[in-house]
Structure 1
Amino acid sequence: MAKIYMDLPNGAKMPAVGLGTWQAKDASELTTALEAALELGYRHIDTALVYENEAIIGKVLKKWFDAGKLKREDLFITTKLPMFAVHPDRVEDFMKTSLKNLDLDYVDLYLIHFPACVNVKNGNFLEGFEIEPTDHVAVWKKMEEQVDAGRTKAIGISNFNKSQIENLLKSNPRIKPANLQVELHVHLQQQELVKYCLENGITVTAYSPLGNPGINKFLGSIGQEARQLPNVLTDENIKKIATKHNKTSAQVMLRYLLQRSVIVIPKSVTPSRLKENIDIFDFALDNTDMQTLNGLEVGEPARVCDFKIFKGLDKHPQWPFTN
């Protein structure tokens, strides 16, 4: 069965369904979506400095706090240390910047967004960057200091592979990673990575849990070529399971991950889809359903967020993916 919350090592409860906000930086659209999500009962919001929407989120949260509709402790807020700050000298400044943007005293979870550090030219990735040496252990010590200072309740990692996590754990960190956030969906299941994390007390969050149907719109907006990826939402196997449970394909895909003890953060700015994405606790997939969905694994070719838009990043010694 699936839990409504996942327990973090620090005793905190992380809502198993959250709102992802990548590709959501239109102020009016995101404000409307956040208002709708909070009304629907979402209490977990995922953002990042590079999403350029922390300040929009902060304004909405302040409005709800000031109106007495929510207390800070009712919410679970995640943000992330950007790729160009994965360096011991930069962690604290960027942590403080995110808190200022969000207008919060602390976040619940602060993640290293990507395992490779780069020096970005003119503050714009697409104008180019230089690869920088990246010392995860040294950076992690600075992440631990953010917990000590009360700026974040928990710390974790994103887009790290199993080997990188193993190396971090071998350093015997004072505070272990509480969470790994990676791309996960029925076509990219990462079974071994999820198993390793759960066995080592690290919760797992799935971004793009629906395979990110909007990826080509995003690629077009930055002048990149569209990619040929299968639309997971139209898969006939998933449709059959959805019909059986009187649910949608999206709900089946999210429920599948929950039953693997994975937290999900689907992104939507459409109120009807926001409702659909959180309405997944009143049914359960049986063993046959789970086996069918397990059989849809494609692996690396199905990775939506392959970070290839950053030309040359795959030459970084800490590149986490199999090329």
Structure 2
Amino acid sequence: MADKVPSTRLNSGYDMPMLGLGTYNSLKPNEMGDVVKAAIQMGYRKIDTAWSFETESEIGAAVKELIQEGKIKREELFIVTKLWVHFREPDQVEPACRLSLEALSTDYIDLYQIHFPMAFEDVEVTTPNMIDYLDTWRAMEKLVDKGLVRSIGVSNFNKEQVERILKMDGLKYKPANNQVEMTPYLAQEDLLQFSLKTGISITGYGSFGAPWHNYIPKDAPKILEDPTIVEIGKKYNKSSAQVILRWGIQRGFALVPMSKNPSHLAQNMDIFDFKLSEEDMKAMLALDRGYRINSLLLSAFKDHPFYPFEK
């Protein structure tokens, strides 16, 4: 099934699968390893994690086991992880990367991203500081030169923040990817078109509104139940989840949906045998209401100069 998944060529020269597995830690302890093994054997080749997800070690153990069993080769996988907000001093970047490398049991990371533009003194995200992400970016570039990572990128950066990186003096490596919240209710069309134009790929997370995450408000809209999406799904005999993922692929961005349900994992992969019409694509885009879920973590820090979301 892996050969069904299209790839995009990053500006770093490497190919990244357009569909992968998200691994945010909302599962029981040691459950993620089993999910990763099932997903890889099902055809998933991109595994997306972050230091803050606390899933790197489980992923590393699962991948190592499959490699030892001869079921996969490391070079067939595309592993993504992220630098957390309290590792942002330039001299902290390489040690943090090496922690992730060790946890993932790998010699290199395919894509390493700055998780948020804002930096904090603490892992709990309570005390922000003024470390400039440009200084962090220069340290990230050194990771590429040392062969620790193949591509570097950002996450949760807005257009202006990405432009600031592109304009920095002595820029050696452009961001290869910007991972942002991207749903039918938060289409981010301007950011997407800017990114595609400048050769920076986009990965969308939270595709279904992350209904299972513990930080989601109880009154959050249920994207999977949206009448427009449900009706489009009936037209193609596909689920709402499949319609949303297909919509993303056709818009030109990668996706990393998460599920611990084997049937849902298979269903999420089964989106390459149909194509949404132009009319349906427009109807989906018309659902955009600027509704953002992942601003809650930083909502107390809207006055910070590197706050990335709408104020």
Contact 2:183 2:207 in 1 (8 A): yes
Q: Distance in 2 between matches of 1:284 and 1:59?
A: 37
Q: Could you tell me which residue of structure 1 aligns to residue 301 of structure 2?
A: 313
Looking at structure 1, the residues matched to 52 and 266 of structure 2 have their Cα atoms a distance apart, in angstroms, of 26
Aligned mates of 1:171, 1:311 — CA distance in 2: 28
| 1:219 equivalent in structure 2 | 215
**1:113-262 correspondence runs (5 A):** 113-120=115-122, 123-125=123-125, 129-172=126-169, 173-215=171-213, 218-219=214-215, 226-262=217-253
- 1:311 is displaced (CA, Å) by 6.2
Contact 2:5 2:19 in 1 (8 A): no
Distance 2:19 2:228 in 1: 24
Deviation (angstroms), 1:209: 1.1
Q: Secondary structure at the match of 1:14?
A: strand
CA contact (8 A) 1:25 1:52 kept: no
CA displacement at 1:313 relative to structure 2: 2.9
Give 1:3 deviation, angstroms: 6.9
CA distance in 1, matches of 2:85, 2:245: 28
Match of 2:268 among 277, 289, 295: 277
Residues 90-145 of structure 1: CA distance to partner in whole angstroms, max 9, x if unpaired?
Answer: 1111001100111110010000000000101xx434xxx32211212211111000
Letter paired with 1:275: A
Letter of the 1:119 counterpart: E
Query: Residue 200 of structure 1: CA displacement?
Result: 0.3
Question: Secondary structure at the residue paired with 2:293?
Answer: coil
| Aligned CA-pair RMSD | 1.5
Distance in 2 (CA, whole Å) between partners of 1:37 and 1:251 is: 17
Of 78, 89, 94, the residue aligned with 1:76 is 78
Q: Distance in 1 between matches of 2:297 and 2:167?
A: 32
Output the amino acid matched with 2:175.
Answer: P
1:28-55 CA deviation, whole Å, 9 max, x = no partner? 3212211210111000000000001100
CA contact (8 A) 2:25 2:54 kept: no
* 2:282 aligned residue: 291
Hey, what's the Cα distance between the residues in 2 that align with 1:289 and 1:303?
23
**Worse-superposed segment, 45-54 or 18-27:** 18-27
Q: Which has the higher contact order (CA 8 A, sep 6+)?
A: 1
Q: Which runs of 5+ in 2 are unaligned?
A: none
Task: Give the Å deviation of 1:310.
Answer: 4.9
Question: What SS does the corresponding residue of 2:86 show, helix, strand or coil?
Answer: helix
Deviations 1:214-249 (A, max 9, x none): 13xx138xxxxx342210101111111101111100
The alpha carbon displacement at 1:26 in A equals 2.7
Question: Which portions of structure 1, spanning 4 or more consecutive aligned residues, are displaced by more than 4 angstroms?
Answer: none
CA displacement at 1:24 relative to structure 2: 3.9
Q: Secondary structure at the match of 2:244?
A: helix
**Cα separation, partners in 2 of 1:74 and 1:205, compared to 1, 3 Å:** same
Distance 1:295 1:278 in 2: 25
Is residue 207–residue 265 contact of structure 1 (8 Å, CA) maintained in 2?
yes
- Matched residue type, 1:67: E
**SS of the residue aligned with 1:97?**
helix
Aligned-pair identity in percent equals: 40
- TM-score, normalised to structure 1, is 0.92
How many Å separate the matches in 2 of 1:3 and 1:261? Answer: 13
Moved more, 229-238 or 309-318: 309-318
| Paired AA for residue 300 in structure 2 | G
Once the two structures are overlaid, the 10-residue window that deviates more, 2-11 or 30-39, is 2-11
Report the alpha carbon displacement of residue 314 of structure 1 after superposing the two structures with TM.
2.6
Match of 1:8 in 2: 10
Partner SS, residue 211 of structure 1 = coil
Paired AA for residue 141 in structure 2? E
How many residues are treated as equivalent by the alignment?
A: 307
- 2:25–2:55 Cα contact (<8 Å) kept: no
Q: Which residue of 2 aligns with 1:33?
A: 35
- Distance in 1 between residues matched to 2:165 and 2:297, nearest whole Å: 27
Q: Is the 8 A contact 1:109 1:152 kept in 2?
A: yes
